[in-house]
Chains A and B, each alone.
Chain A
């Protein structure tokens, strides 16, 4: 267990630097970090399978829990990039389900993950890992994103278009023809929305105006400074002759 974990540890270190070092696992157990076997994608694909399994396991168990809560916190980031996994970084995902993973999954990722070193290398924000995941297996990318999208799309749409959604649903929930309070609620809601829209428009307009004022003032400031400099130079030039212009106008006759 320990020896395999150290191998995995090496694997993960290699992931960050050089894809070729994966060959160390497949070829010989002895450490050869500087092996110059520049294998192409092949050794990586062998290990990607296990990683894919790990991802599926992790996603099914933990991703849905997280994405729902994360979507409420920051809905826009979930749709921003599919690699972003709902705003979580890898260490969050891997930190959770480690105890209950099946053995095949854990051999690839399980044991070395809780201690900090491999996790820092595997944070999704770093470039090489992103490219690695995306270039390797597009099918896997979509499979990971699907459950996230399904769970997020409903919440995101609910957040993004509350007006359309609720109006349609509001009428269904409160049949207003015989329910007076439902109608009132509806009207109240509409009025509130309009008020909110006016408030937003007010804010936008004022902010826009202030920005323009600032720009104008900065321009004027720059112009005045330039003007002042020029005046300074001009006056400096005019002063010198005056300083030296103290001449004797008449001499005493004796």
Chain B
């Protein structure tokens, strides 16, 4: 689980824009239509309309985890004034299981970026206890760091991200 050489999350800017540096300790597997997501994968909206299969590691069924999926480049990477846009929030996921065993308090919203190439970040946190994490009021301007601090989630235990742009092209340049 240790990273060799440089870290893709850092290179992709995820570590500065969304998360603080952390050490991976739990395995996280995100699969859309049999495509495993590795950092920097490119996926089109048509491939991510439905929620992916997510499986996590760990070894203690009595430890619970929260999965957060956000878009830090909303509405456009050159002007991310909605950073971050919350697409999915699942809590109480027992270790060694998957997202289907958890509680999706913010349901999965299929990303449909209109401008530019967006990063979609999955981050996994360990909860202190069961039912200790609550949903925010809205999806836009979500802040993963602050949310984690608010509900005592600590540092992330795993994260992965992919790139997504609109189905045809990148949405061009915004004038003005």
Contacts and interface: CB of A to CB of B under 8 A. Distances in A.
Q: What 10 pairs across the A-B complex have the smallest Cβ distances?
A: A206-B40, A205-B12, A205-B11, A209-B8, A209-B39, A205-B8, A205-B40, A204-B11, A208-B8, A209-B40
A133 B144 CA distance: 62
A198 B8 contact: no
A213 interface: yes
A201 B12 contact: yes
Report the contact-size class of chain B (Cβ under 8 Å from the partner): 10 to 19
Contacts of B8: 205-206, 208-209, 212
A206 B37 CA distance: 11
Q: Report the interface size class on chain A.
A: 10 to 19
Interface in A195-248: 195, 198, 201-202, 204-206, 208-213, 215
21 contacts: A194-B78, A195-B78, A198-B77, A198-B117, A201-B11, A202-B12, A202-B40, A202-B117, A205-B11, A205-B12, A205-B39, A206-B41, A208-B5, A208-B39, A209-B8, A209-B40, A210-B38, A212-B4, A212-B8, A213-B38, A215-B4
B63 interface: no
Contacts of A204: 11
Interface in B76-126: 77-78, 117
A166 interface: no
Majority secondary structure, A binding face: helix
A9 B6 CA distance: 55
Interface string B1-29: 00111111101110000000000000000
Contacts of B7: 208
A211 B11 contact: no
Interface in A172-199: 191, 194-195, 198
